[in-house]
Amino acid sequence: MRTEVQAYLQRIEFEGIPKNDFATLRHLQFQHLITVPYENLDIMRDIPISLKIEDVYKKVVERGRGGYCFELNGLFAWLLRSLGFTVAEHMARYLRGEQEIPMRRHRVLKVTCVDGDYLCDVGVGDTIPLVPLPIKYGVVNQQKMERYKLENEPFLGNVLYEWKKNEWRKIYSFTEEKQLNIDYIMPSFYCEKHPDSYFRTMDMVHIFTKDGRKTVAGREIKLFSPNHVNVIVAGTEAAFKELLEVHFKIRI
């Protein structure tokens, strides 16, 4: 196994021998989500984002940082291919909270192994499936307290739904045209630089834990456990940096 792949597996605290099956894919995705944070801290500080795999690798694996969908799912796709999985990358529309159909600005993965085809995503700063979702339409997938399903719709294509407040709500949709890494440069640049970009509004950090999650919105940090939410407000920049290091292992 290549040294870079071994270092990546150590970064996400993966244990065992990787195989080309669902059990390995499930373990890889879950470990990624609880060890590598989703974050836009570089964007907020006008530090350019590179989608070159070697640059994202240095940021995430060597420097212990996170990133957003164009970085994290791109790097995860590289890892999966290195381990023998077949990966197709697709462009998606993030629909959660939208009143109209938005532009394509999300990167998702369709991963094939000996057990079938799965939707994989380690690049969303909110609740998403913690383990790969079988690409089967209309089948409800229960994951702890959350329920998800995929539907195929005429215009949107494959639509990921979540069960929320007694109704099915759209998270995002994607069509199955294969994309190259270069195809994500333009939407990523929009997210980085455009004044209307959601990613330029405030610091955002998100990471899952084995029984909850941790989030940052501006200077407010929330620590979610099964029965409690602890809220911390950083009063100074120094306090904010300290909390990032303590709760997310991020140094800026």
- Is residue 247 annotated as a catalytic residue, yes or no? no
CA distance 52 to 182: 9
Q: Is the dihedral of CA 76, 77, 78, 80 positive or negative?
A: positive
- Of the residues 32, 42, 90, 106, only one is catalytic, namely 106
Residue 211 annotated in active site: no
- Residue 74's alpha-carbon distances to 19, 99, 157, 184, 185, in angstroms, are 20, 28, 21, 9, 11
Q: Which of 216, 251, 252 is nearest to 234 (CA)?
A: 216
69 is catalytic: yes
Token pair in block for residue 180: 């190259």
Element (H, E) at 225: strand 220-225
Residue from 217, 206, 219, 211 nearest 250 by CA: 206
204 three-class SS: strand
Task: Please give the structure tokens belonging to residue 108.
Answer: 């998702």
Which residue of the set 32, 42, 90, 121 is catalytic?
Answer: 121
Q: Which amino acid is at 221?
A: I
* Residues that are catalytic: 69, 106, 121
